[in-house]
Structure 1
Amino acid sequence: MKNGIKGAALALVLSASWGSQAADYTIDSKGAHASINFAVSHLGYSFIKGRFNDFEGRFQFDPQQIEQSTVFVEVDTTSLDSNHAERDKHLRSGDFINTSKYDTATFKSTKVVDKGDGKFDIVGDLTLHGVTKPITIDAMTIGAGKDPWGGERAGFVGQTRLELADFNIPVVGDSSYVEMELHVEGIKQ
């Protein structure tokens, strides 16, 4: 990352209070087992979908004490990829997310609310485009346990809607928001 944490894995992360029985995990973003995806309305007729290819993160997780979990993720915004080079260049420009000035986005949880049945809300602060705002991610546990290589993993999925105006990102037509879909697989440390 240009301006981010160098050694931590970046993505969506669930980290428990750093002193409980929670295990430490690193997000497997380099192993293609995690993704940060987005969808933006295009003229009200369809959605442009994409992802951020480079991110890092870590989390602590104890399924018996989900409410103590916390999350930290760092995203390289220059890695925005909508599968169309010219559109990506425009989205990265000062007309939208201005990656030359804001090349990193971060998310740090402030609390996790256990909703039962492996579902929970992750509440935290997202810093994007130079603005920090609270957001809530609707998340759920996919699974946790041993992997074939002798390690342990835990996986989650989450989603949230970001209102572009909240982050001073220009709205074009009916594209006033972006839907975020997050897939996180962590490797126990």
Structure 2
Amino acid sequence: MGLFNRHNDDAAATAPVSPDLAALTGDYTVDPSHTTLGFVARHAMVTNVKGQFREFTGTLHLDGSDPSKSTASLDIVVNSIDTGSADRDGHLRSADFFKTDEFPTMTFRSTAVEAAGGDDYRVTGDLSLLGVTKEVTIDLEFQGAAKDPFGNERVGFEGRGEISRSDWGVTWNAALETGGVLVSDKIKLRFDISAIKNA
């Protein structure tokens, strides 16, 4: 039995809740120092450029008795984007892309979760960026729970998704002489999340 399951009244009535799962119920704070919110974009049709956002806050509510009621919330400082190139990061912060002076924050608010088999789950939510809100779906794998050496109760997730940046009005590009464009419209999302249970 995993962390998130599709709500099913009949199943809930006949299947006991795992004590281990029930013990995870509570509110959690995402730990930025052990979490990566990353992305991958295709560049010049030949290679991938990876990046991440360095500054963010997030909370999780996990319900072990009815996991479908679990929720997630993230607030990301867009200006903290880091692709390993100062020039590229500056361009991404500009009016061509994220317009960080006008829209400093990107947010995600979950709206539903469902089981996808084993430790795999699907989280649907609203991603707000550049004044536009669109629904996105993230595939999550529950990595487990443990108490760290400092006494913190932690849970971990690994996540993947894919979006089209043009859905949020991020359309800047440049044509290549050999055909195609400089930056892909499709952006792959990659997450490694560690969260600490609130006292």
Offset at 1:80? 0.5
Alpha carbon RMSD of aligned pairs, Å?
A: 1.5
Where does residue 179 of structure 1 map in the other structure?
Answer: 188
Where does residue 40 of structure 2 map in the other structure?
Answer: 39
Aligned residues of 1:66 and 1:114 also touching (Cα < 8 A): no
Q: Deviations over 1:21-53 (max 9, x none)?
A: 631100001xx2101011110011001111100
Where does residue 149 of structure 2 map in the other structure?
Answer: 148
Where does residue 197 of structure 2 map in the other structure?
Answer: 188
Where does residue 119 of structure 1 map in the other structure?
Answer: 120
Unaligned 5+ residue runs, structure 2? Answer: 5-21, 174-180
Aligned residues of 1:55 and 1:76 also touching (Cα < 8 A): yes
Offset at 1:61? 1.6
**What code does the residue aligned with 1:82 have?**
T
Q: Give me the identity figure in percent.
A: 36
Aligned residues of 2:127 and 2:136 also touching (Cα < 8 A): yes
Aligned residues of 1:164 and 1:177 also touching (Cα < 8 A): yes
* Rounded Cα–Cα distance in structure 2 between residues aligned with 1:45 and 1:153: 39
Aligned residues of 2:164 and 2:185 also touching (Cα < 8 A): yes
- Aligned residue pairs total 168
Pairwise mapping of residues 1-189 of structure 1 onto structure 2 (< 5 A)?
Answer: 22-29=25-32, 32-63=33-64, 65-172=66-173, 173=181, 175-189=184-198
Moved over 4 A (4+): none
* Rounded Cα–Cα distance in structure 2 between residues aligned with 1:24 and 1:75: 19
* Rounded Cα–Cα distance in structure 2 between residues aligned with 1:71 and 1:163: 22
TM-score normalized by the length of structure 1: 0.84
Offset at 1:171? 4.5
**What code does the residue aligned with 1:88 have?**
D
Offset at 1:64? 5.3
Aligned residues of 1:81 and 1:88 also touching (Cα < 8 A): yes
**What code does the residue aligned with 1:177 have?**
K
Structure with a larger share of its residues in helix: 2
Unaligned 5+ residue runs, structure 1? Answer: 1-13, 15-20
Offset at 1:175? 1.0
* Rounded Cα–Cα distance in structure 2 between residues aligned with 1:141 and 1:63: 13
